[in-house]
Every structure is written in C-alpha cells, then in structure tokens.
A and B are shown apart, each in its own frame.
Chain A
Amino acid sequence: MHRSFSERQLVALLRQGDEGAFRYLVRRYQKKLYAVAFGITLDREESFDIVQDVFLNVYRKIGRFRQQSSLSTWLHRITVNQCLNRKRRWKRRLRRQHRSIDSPELDPVPLAAPDGSDPETLYNGKLAVQGLWRALRQVPEQARAVFVLKEIQGMSYDEIARDLHIKKGTVSSRLFYVRRRLKAELQAFLEGETGHEE
C-alpha cells in the first residue's frame, strides 16, 4: 500500500471505516507507540497488547476525536493512559511465564556502538543497556512515563504536564529523580565514557 494521506483525510477515512486508511494509521504510528509503551512498561508482550488496544480504541472512538490536538498527540495520550491505567497487567503477567528483562533471551538489544566493531565497546554497551533497564524498573511508573515522554518523545515539560495532569515543577523533579537513579546505577559506565572530560 503506497497511499499517503493528510491528517484530515486520514481522520475522515477512518470515520468511514476505510480499512486501507486504518492499515496506514497502524503502519505509521505503531513503532512510535510501541517505543512509548515499552519505555513505560518495560515488557514486550505488555507493550504489544497495549499498542493493539490503542489502535482498537482509535477504530472505535475516532468519531469522538475532535481534532483539537494532532492525531499523533491523541494517539500518544491514549497510549500513555493505557500504560498507566491498565488493570489487567498483573493478571496477564501471571498467565504467562514471566521472563525477566535481564534474562539472556530478552537482552540481546543491540546498542549500536558508535564505532561499530569494538567488542569491548559492544559488551560495555550491552551492560549499560542492562543497567538502564534495571534502574528504570526500580523507579515508579509515573516517573518512568515522564522520562520516556521527555527522552523518547522529546516532549516539552508543558506538554508532559498537560498529558499526565501534573504540574510543570513535578515534571522537572521527576525527571531529575529518574536521572539521578540512572546515574547511580550506571556510574561505572558513565565514568568510563566521560572520564576524559574533566
């Protein structure tokens, strides 16, 4: 499918139940929404389910979308709400065999090495990613959501505050808190990478 739509056209077609437009919507946004969901939940299957639910919600509720914000903003808002409000999370987790994000099977997340080939750099990068996930799992989900919306989505403090219904000062303090926790967890890696600057 090589169709391309303006946002207004896309919304109009979605309201008519156009399947092509819906597939276009899924392909266009699924990666971004998955990144947000994974950043908050740190669980692949959970993120998969959440993104699926988001698109189903959009399909059912597109008639209520008043276009006061962009479609992208609306989608991200639904995703964050789904992540923070989901009640079935633990039920699903118990139903499945739980696999830790630190397990070897889940962890070969390739952190692209800046210089490409150095095995030690790659190894350190993998350890850093493991440390990052470990540290992120230790912070409350609300704080993690702020971190993800800032670092992954590049949203401003005002946008984050509006979407999460918190004060701008709370966004600042939560970001600071998460960064401090991450720095503590990744101290060795960060020292190794930045030691030369002092």
Chain B
Amino acid sequence: MKNDHRRCDAEALSRFLDNEGGAQETDRLRRHLETCGACRKRLAKQRLLSRLARKAVAGETARADFERLEAAVVSAVHRQRPYAWQHFTGWIPVKKVSIPLATAVLAGLVYFFVAVQRPGFRAPSAIINSFTGPISSVMIIETPETRQTILWFDENSAATDDDKAV
C-alpha cells in the first residue's frame, strides 16, 4: 500500500500525540502512520518538542530560589493575618447561611420599626391645668413629646377692659 499523503492531517496528528483524537480518528491515523514516513517524522518532532518543553521548564524551575519564595510568602501572610470575621466565614457555609440570616434580621428590624415603633397620633395624655379668667383662657397640654400651653384671649373682655382703662 502506497503512502496516502492526501490524508495527512497535521492538526489531527497533534491530537493523536495527546490521545485526544477519539477512537475513529486515532484508528485512521494509526493506519496512516504505518505508511506515511512524513507523518511519522512530524510525530517524532512533536514528541521531541514536548520533551524539550518539559525539560526546559524543569530546568528553569530547578534554578528558582524556593526558600526565598517560601520566606516571602510566610512573611506576607504574617503581615496580613485574617480578621476574626474571615475565620468566621471559614467555617460557616457563607452563602447558604449568612444571606438568609441577614435577610431575616433585616425583615425583623423593618417590622420592629414599622409596626411596633410607628409613631401614630397621640392624644394629649392629660390636661394638666385649665382656668378661665376675665382676660384669657389658658390650657396646658402635655403629650409624650412636648408640653404645650394654649392660650385663648377673650378679646371682648380685653376690649372692655381697655375701654374701661380709657
């Protein structure tokens, strides 16, 4: 069987290298590779590239100063000790508990202020004192918030008195 170069598929070969081609594609490529030297070479180059990349990164990693990294991380953590509430959120399921809890507390507060503490019309608690004289009337009214004094002037009586005075 001659090489079937029409079926060379470089991207499929890349998937083949990664075992990601699926059964049908893998089977087709396996048969193709048996007869296609160019694709075998492509595959060998890809494998070599993979090894090179892994070794290069491993070599780079071997050169890094991880003691310095660890010291820097631990030092930064010491500077950023978590607040108490962050520990708290660590052991409660945050969203499942805290949101309904906050909603319930808020609803309770709203109910308390709207229904219980609602300022309604307050009648005077008592008429403390009242008297009527020839010049005016005076009424002192006390409510929970204020103490008010109301005066009624008896203009007729006043006029009469003025007239008398004149």
A residues with a Cβ closer than 8 A to B are: 15-17, 19, 22-23, 26-27, 30-31, 34-35, 38-39, 44, 47-48, 51-52, 55-56, 59-60, 62-64, 109-112, 128-129, 132-133, 147-148, 150-152, 156-157, 172-173, 175-176, 179-180, 182-183, 186, 190, 193-194, 197-198
Whether, in the assembled complex, B76 has its beta carbon less than 8 Å from a beta carbon of chain A, the answer is: yes
Cα distance A110–B56 in the bound complex, in angstroms: 8
Within 8 Å by CB of A52, from B46, B55, B69, B82, lies B69
Q: Are A64's CB and B41's CB within 8 A?
A: no
Contact A175 B52 (CB under 8 A): no
Asked, given contacts A44-B64, A129-B56, A179-B49, whether A173 binds B94 with beta carbons under 8 Å apart, the answer is no
Q: How far is the CB of A147 from chain B (nearest CB, A)?
A: 7
Residues of A within 8 A of B66 (CB): 27, 30-31, 34
Fill in one digit per residue for B42-68: 1 if any A CB lies within 8 Å of its CB, else 0: 001110111011111111111110100
**When the two chains form their complex, are residues B89 and A63 in contact, meaning their CB atoms are under 8 A apart?**
yes
Q: How far is the CA of A59 from the CA of B74 in the complex (A)?
A: 10
Residues A152 and B70 in contact, CB atoms below 8 Å apart: no
Q: Which of B8-35 contact A (CB under 8 A)?
A: 10-11, 14-15, 18, 20
Interface residues of B (CB under 8 A from A): 10-11, 14-15, 18, 20, 37-38, 40-41, 44-46, 48-50, 52-64, 66, 69-70, 72-74, 76-77, 80-82, 86-87, 89-91, 94
CA distance A15 to B50 in the complex (A): 38
Given that A56-B80, A109-B56, A109-B59 are known contacts, is A63 also in contact with B90, CB under 8 Å in the complex? yes
Which B residue sits closest to A190, measured CB to CB?
A: B45
Q: Are B90 and A197 interface neighbours, CB within 8 A?
A: no
* Cβ of B93 to closest chain A Cβ, rounded Å: 8
Cα A129 to Cα B38 with chains together (Å): 25
Knowing A52-B73, A59-B80, the reply to whether A35 touches B61 (Cβ < 8 A) is yes
Would you give the shortest CB distance from A129 to chain B, in whole angstroms?
A: 5
Name which residue of chain A comes closest to B70, CB basis: A26
A48 touches B89 (CB 8 A): no
- Known A60-B86, A180-B10; contact A111-B74, beta-carbon cutoff 8 A: no
A27 touches B45 (CB 8 A): no
Point out the residue from B55, B64, B74, B94 that lies within 8 Å of A112, measured CB to CB: B55
A-B contact pairs, 19 of them (CB 8 A): A22-B77, A38-B57, A39-B57, A51-B69, A52-B69, A55-B73, A56-B76, A56-B77, A110-B62, A112-B59, A129-B52, A129-B55, A129-B56, A132-B52, A152-B57, A179-B49, A182-B49, A182-B53, A198-B37
